[in-house]
Amino acid sequence: MVRALGVAVIGFGWMGRVHTRAYARVAHHYPGLPLRPELMTVAEEVPGRAEEAAERYGFASATRDWREVAADPAVRAVSVTAPNFLHREIGVAMAEAGKHLWIEKPVGLTGADATAVADAVARAGVQGTVGFNYRNAPAVEAARDLIASGGIGAVTHVRVRLFSDYAAHPDAALTWRYERARGGSGVLGDLASHGADLARFLVGDIAALTAGTAVFVPRRPRPAGAGVGHALAAGGEPGPVENEDYVHCLLRFASGARGVLEACRVSVGEQNNYGFEVHGTRGAVSWDFRRMNELAVARGTGYQDQPVSTVYVGPGDGEFAAFQPGAANAMGYDDLKVVEAYRFLRSVAESRPYGATLEDAVRSAAAVDAMVVSARSGAWVDLPSAQTCRCPKGSY
C-alpha cells in the first residue's frame, strides 16, 4: 500500500526547484516506492517567490517563515535548500520537530555546523540525507565498484577537479555567497566539499591534507535586490569578496594512496568541469561530469602503453535502470536528484539510511575545515578518524 508523506521545501532558488521536481518525478521512476511525497508547504523569504512556487508546482500552502513548517504536523519530511548560513538553524529545528531531513551540502558554514545537524538528527531518530549528488551518477558508482573489486589494482594516486565559471564575471553580484559570515569558505564549501566526498566515496578516508587558497576577483558590485543564481549587478556599489575563489589541496588517504583536489569558481572557459582520475597498480579509471554516463577505463597486465577504453554505463550500474533501458542512453543532472529523493524516501520508509548521510557531511566538512586551517598555517593537517570525527574548533 502506498502511503502519503507530506513534504516541504525551505528555500526556493534553483536548488529548491530541483528538489521539487525530484519529488514530482520520483514515483515515475520508482513505482514500487511505498511512500508518495505530497507537496505541502514551500517557504521562501523573498516576497512573492513562495506564492509563485506554490502556484507553479502545486504546493498546498506558501509562507515566508520557515518556522511555520516546523510547527506543521502535516509536514513529515523537509528539503532544506536555503543559503549555507541557515543550514544549521533550520536543520536542527526540523530534526527537533521530528521532521525527516533532506539537506543540501555543505550543511552549514563549518564542521561544527554539520556536526550540530547530525547530532540533532541522531537524537530525534529521524532520517537525514545530504545533497552529495555526484556520487549518485551510475558511472561513479560503477567506478567505485571497479576500484573496490581490485579491478585496477591497489590505488596509488587520485585527482579530483571541480572547475566552473559561475563566478568568473567581475560584475557577478556580491551576494551572500561571497561573505564569510553567510557563505562560509566560498569555493571550499560550494565545490571542494563535493570533491572531498567523491574522494572518500571512491578511495576511502582522507587521513591528512595540506592546502592553499586564493581570491582572484577581490571586489564585486552589490545587487540592487534579490536575485536567482549568479546574476550580474553591473554598476552596483563595489564591495569586498571575503571568501575563497580557488583551492588546491594535497591528500593522504588512510590506505596510503595520495591525491590532489583542486576547485575554482572563476575558471574562465570552464563550465562544470568536474571529474576524477583514479590510478592503481594495474589500471586506471576516470570520469567527467560533462560526459556523465561514460567511464574511461584502462585494465590489463601490460602496464606500459596499456589502452584506455570508453565504457558506457547501463542498467546494471547504480540506478541507471530506473531511467533508461540500455547503455549509452543519457541521464542528466536532475536525474541524480531523483535518485537522491528516492534514497531519502526509502530511508524514511525503511527507517535505515540509504545514500549520503549527515555523517558523510561531517566527514566532508572536516576536510574543508582542515583545508582552511592548512591554508593559513602552511602545514599538513590530520583529519579525525571515522570513529572520532568531530571537526576542530576554532577553524574560522
What's the pTM value of the predicted model, to 2 decimals? 0.94
How high does pLDDT run on average in the chain? 95
CATH class of 135-329+363-377: alpha beta
Instruction: Report phi then psi at 116, rounded to 5.
Output: -60, -40
Per-residue model confidence as pLDDT tens digits over 34-76 = 999 999 999 999 999 999 999 999 999 999 999 999 999 999 9
Instruction: Report phi then psi at 235, rounded to 5.
Output: 90, -10
Q: Is the distance from CB of 137 to CB of 318 less than 8 angstroms?
A: yes
Neighbouring C-beta atoms of residue 321, cutoff 10 Å:
14
- CATH no. of 3-133: 3.40.50.720
**Considering just the CA atoms, what is the radius of gyration of the chain in Å?**
21
Whether the predicted pLDDT of 1 surpasses 80? no
The pLDDT-based confidence of 388 (bands split at 50, 70, 90) is low
Whether the predicted pLDDT of 396 surpasses 70? no
Q: Which amino acid is at 150?
A: G
Calpha distance 274→160 (Å, rounded): 8
Q: Decide: helix, strand or coil at residue 258.
A: strand
18-45: buried (b, 16+ CB within 10 Å) or exposed (e) per residue? bbbebbebbbebbeebebebbbbbbbbb
The pLDDT-based confidence of 120 (bands split at 50, 70, 90) is very high
Whether the predicted pLDDT of 383 surpasses 60? yes
DSSP state of 273: E
Calpha distance 202→371 (Å, rounded): 20
Strands (E), the chain: 3-10, 35-43, 61-63, 77-80, 100-103, 128-130, 155-163, 206-214, 219-221, 238-240, 246-253, 258-264, 273-280, 283-288, 294-299, 309-312, 381-382
Whether the predicted pLDDT of 331 surpasses 70? yes
Q: How many CA atoms lie within 13 A of 290 on its CB side?
A: 9
Cell numbers 559570515: residue = 181
The pLDDT-based confidence of 394 (bands split at 50, 70, 90) is very low
Distant-in-sequence, close-in-space partners of 26: CB < 8 Å, separation ≥ 6: 33, 37, 338, 341, 342, 345
How buried is residue 95: exposed, middle or buried, by Cβ count under 10 Å (0-12/13-18/19+)?
A: buried
Calpha distance 51→63 (Å, rounded): 8
Residues in the chain: 396
Q: Decide: helix, strand or coil at residue 107.
A: coil
Strands (E), 57-151: 61-63, 77-80, 100-103, 128-130
What nine digits make up the cell of 288?
Answer: 567527467
Q: Is the distance from CB of 143 to CB of 295 less than 8 angstroms?
A: yes
pLDDT at 191: 98
Percent of the chain at pLDDT above 70?
A: 96
Q: Is the distance from CB of 35 to CB of 2 less than 8 angstroms?
A: yes
Domain boundaries, the chain: 3-133, 135-329+363-377
What nine digits make up the cell of 235?
Answer: 554598476
Calpha distance 62→40 (Å, rounded): 9
Per-residue model confidence as pLDDT tens digits over 179-237 = 999 999 999 999 999 999 999 999 999 999 999 999 999 999 998 865 555 789 888 89
DSSP state of 288: E
